[in-house]
A and B are shown apart, each in its own frame.
Chain A
Amino acid sequence: MGKFLARRLLNHLVLVLLATSFAYLLAATNLDPRGYFEQMQPPPPPEAVDSRLDALNLNDRTPLAQRYATWLGGVVTGDFGRTIQGGDVASQMWLKAGVTLRLITVATLLGSALGVAVGAYAAVRQYGRFDKAATAVSFLVLSVPTVVIAIVVQVLAVTVNDGLGLQLLRYSGEYSAGFDGTWWELLGNRIHHAVLPTLVLAVALFASFARYQRNMMLDVLGADFVRTAMAKGLTRRRALFRHALRTALIPTTTYFTFTFGALVSGATFTEKIYGWHGMGAWLIDSIFRQDVHVVAAVSWFMAVTIMAASFLSDILHAWLDPRVRV
């Protein structure tokens, strides 16, 4: 088992390195930092542009291999280079990562818990009224792009606010700018702002988890061990909870870790529309700013989260399902 995990870990590290390098090379060849400086008003002299680009390791007249080597040398020591404005990428990255992780942790927990509960109950009452309604709702939600959900929720929030004549729902930013108060007021302000974006993410997750869990639960409900559990005298509720649901949750944990990993990029739209300065929004902005190092750093972060999720799901799976532990 340990050897298997070590091999997986090594494989993951190589894949992360490849993915990040690929993103860096692509960004370095396709983005145009020189254009960013040349477009400044008033236009700086060419020598100044060159020296600035050299200082940032972004000069397109330096051979690509040399730039890549310099960049990689930095990344190995934890230095992700400078942003195009001269800031330190690594320190900014952790700030943005914090924002994104806060948003998606709450959203995935909420969405998956709700989805699992609804999906499991729907499976128990298969073809019942609840099942039909739940299936229809999740099917509908899955057919609506997150962008549209986010915008529609925002529009509804504006309508509600206008209707009530007060700021009941916040739909922009992570906290009120210039807001000051005691720590619980600050916390309350942040939570107030987080309600809608979290909701948007959770709704989409809820739908996919409900469908997934329903299928898993249906597979298990017909299994012999559930029938045996009821036959040996357990109550239906106990058999369903202790035996059926517990088994049906194993594949869901794998699904959960992967969703979490994929959501780092998946939350981009919600972040951008709700004005949260997380990883995804940073990526979009930096592409328009021709910021090569930020793009590479975000790619690295996304690759690492997906790999970490995959690694975690390997461990969780082995822990929950004795059959894997061979």
Chain B
Amino acid sequence: MSTTSTTEESTAPAQAPAVPRAPSRTGDITRRLLGTRRVLVGLALLLLLTALALAGPLLTGWGVGERDFSAMLEGPSPEHWMGTNRTGQDILTQTTAGLRRSLLIGLLVALLSTGAAAVVGAFAGYLGGVTDRALTWIADLALVLPGFVILAILSEHFAGRGGWLVLVVLLAAFSWMVTSKMVRGLTVSLREREYVQAARFMGVPPHRIILRHVLPNMSSLLIADATIMVSTAVIGETALSYFGLGVRSPDISLGVVIADGAPFATTAPWVFALPTALLIVMVLAVNMVGDGLRDALDPHSTSHRS
């Protein structure tokens, strides 16, 4: 981010028209991104899904969790566009509400875990010595801890109001380690660059150097990683919720809706089909964007492209 602002500052005062515009990283990346069809399709799908999730309550006249006792487990009808489940809840309403929560969980987990990975990795790599060893050891330990078991044990705390936030924190707590190792590796090589050394010799404190010079220079990696993390978190949440160990009712997420519908998958396919299809489309879209981002941002990976 600081790179873009410095290039803008340097181009703005230059009035001589003969000087070609300094190549801007943001413009370059945007052009490359828009040139990748995958990213465009993924973004469009995500926008559509978000619109659907937000517009859900307006589309149907039913409230989340509201039951229509005159229509239980009935197929699509003008009353219920996507049918109802066993207890007479409108599938479209439930699914859009679940989608909203799942998207939110995915975004928050990605934000938290990538943030933690960036801070831990950068401090470990930049400071070195005891800090490095301690942080690396913590990351190793977190990798060994059976995250799935711990999430399952603590699952009773996910019930109640705001309980899903606990789930978000825990999901993030078990997904930052690998990224932090990558960040650490990059930091170690960035530490010896001239601009970092210049800042150090000017007496800028380490935490400012890390936040202003080291992390912005690996923002591409972090953004791509955060995107992939969204889909990982959503998949994890779905799996836990499926066993009743994730988001608890009356709270709702896509995993909860899918788990409710799964027993009826053969007899009443509409209960199961819509939430599952939306989940797959969502994860697919996020992965498309993330994959495309990684290619556009990482000059080394272009050869791997399909």
Please say whether chains A and B are actual partners in one complex: yes
Q: How far is the CB of B257 from chain A (nearest CB, A)?
A: 12
B146 touches A19 (CB 8 A): yes
A19 touches B145 (CB 8 A): yes
B298 within 8 A of A: no
B22 within 8 A of A: no
A299 touches B149 (CB 8 A): yes
List which A144-172 residues lie within 8 A (CB) of chain B.
144-148, 151-152, 154-155, 158-159
A135 touches B306 (CB 8 A): yes
B144 touches A306 (CB 8 A): yes
B306 touches A155 (CB 8 A): no
A293 within 8 A of B: no
A284 touches B144 (CB 8 A): no
| Chain A residues within an 8 Å CB radius of B239 | 145-147, 269
Q: How far is the CB of A145 from chain B (nearest CB, A)?
A: 4
B144 touches A144 (CB 8 A): no
List which A100-144 residues lie within 8 A (CB) of chain B.
126-127, 131-132, 135, 139-140, 142-144
Q: How far is the CB of A169 from chain B (nearest CB, A)?
A: 13
A155 touches B265 (CB 8 A): yes
B172 within 8 A of A: no
A283 touches B306 (CB 8 A): no
**Number of contacting residues on B, CB 8 A?**
37
| Chain A residues within an 8 Å CB radius of B145 | 19, 22-23
A23 touches B146 (CB 8 A): yes
Closest residue of chain B to A29, judged by CB? Answer: B153
B155 touches A15 (CB 8 A): no
Chain B 259-272 interface mask (CB, 8 Å, partner A; 1/0): 00010011000001
Binds A, one of B9-17, B104-112, B195-203, B275-283: B275-283
Of B155, B243, B265, the residue contacting A272 (CB under 8 A) is: B243
Q: Assess A26 versus B150: contact at CB under 8 Å? Given A155-B266, A159-B266.
A: yes
List which A165-215 residues lie within 8 A (CB) of chain B.
214-215
Closest residue of chain B to A286, judged by CB? Answer: B152
**In the complex, what distance in Å separates the CA atom of A19 from the CA atom of B262?**
34
List which A275-326 residues lie within 8 A (CB) of chain B.
283-284, 287, 295, 298-299, 302-303, 306-307
| Chain A residues within an 8 Å CB radius of B238 | 145, 147-148
Of B152, B258, B283, the residue contacting A143 (CB under 8 A) is: B283
A27 touches B153 (CB 8 A): yes
| Chain B residues within an 8 Å CB radius of A127 | 306
Closest residue of chain B to A142, judged by CB? Answer: B287
A30 within 8 A of B: yes
A265 touches B141 (CB 8 A): no
B152 touches A145 (CB 8 A): no
**In the complex, what distance in Å separates the CA atom of A283 from the CA atom of B265?**
26
Chain B 130-171 interface mask (CB, 8 Å, partner A; 1/0): 000000000011001110111011111100000000000000
Closest residue of chain B to A302, judged by CB? Answer: B146
A26 touches B141 (CB 8 A): no
A218 within 8 A of B: yes
**In the complex, what distance in Å separates the CA atom of A299 from the CA atom of B238?**
22
Closest residue of chain B to A307, judged by CB? Answer: B144
A147 touches B242 (CB 8 A): yes
Of B144, B152, B283, B304, the residue contacting A19 (CB under 8 A) is: B144
| Chain A residues within an 8 Å CB radius of B276 | 148, 151-152
Among A142, A143, A302, residue most surrounded by chain B Cβ atoms (within 10 Å): A143
A143 touches B284 (CB 8 A): yes
| Chain B residues within an 8 Å CB radius of A83 | none
A257 within 8 A of B: no
Q: Assess A303 versus B144: contact at CB under 8 Å? Given A148-B279, A155-B266, A295-B153.
A: yes
B209 within 8 A of A: no
**In the complex, what distance in Å separates the CA atom of A238 from the CA atom of B272?**
50
A57 within 8 A of B: no
Q: How far is the CB of B144 from chain A (nearest CB, A)?
A: 5
A234 within 8 A of B: no
A148 touches B265 (CB 8 A): no
A268 within 8 A of B: yes
Q: Assess A143 versus B266: contact at CB under 8 Å? Given A148-B276, A303-B146.
A: no
A31 within 8 A of B: yes
| Chain B residues within an 8 Å CB radius of A215 | 304
B303 within 8 A of A: yes
B140 touches A15 (CB 8 A): yes
Of A30, A214, A222, the residue contacting B154 (CB under 8 A) is: A30
B265 touches A151 (CB 8 A): yes
Q: Assess A18 versus B144: contact at CB under 8 Å? Given A132-B306, A144-B280.
A: yes
| Chain B residues within an 8 Å CB radius of A302 | 146, 149
| Chain A residues within an 8 Å CB radius of B72 | none
B235 within 8 A of A: yes
Q: How far is the CB of B130 from chain A (nearest CB, A)?
A: 18
B144 touches A30 (CB 8 A): no
B231 within 8 A of A: yes
A97 within 8 A of B: no
| Chain A residues within an 8 Å CB radius of B154 | 26, 30
| Chain A residues within an 8 Å CB radius of B243 | 269, 272, 284
> Can you give 23 contacting A-B residue pairs, CB < 8 Å?
A15-B144, A16-B144, A22-B145, A22-B150, A26-B150, A30-B153, A31-B153, A143-B231, A143-B283, A147-B238, A151-B262, A152-B265, A222-B303, A265-B146, A268-B148, A269-B239, A269-B243, A284-B243, A287-B152, A287-B153, A298-B149, A299-B146, A303-B144
Q: Beyond A143-B287, A152-B265: 19 further Cβ-contacts under 8 Å?
A: A15-B140, A18-B144, A19-B144, A26-B150, A126-B306, A135-B306, A139-B284, A142-B287, A143-B283, A144-B283, A148-B279, A151-B262, A154-B265, A155-B272, A222-B303, A269-B243, A287-B155, A295-B153, A302-B146
The 4 closest A-B pairs by CB, nearest first: A143-B284, A135-B306, A143-B283, A145-B235
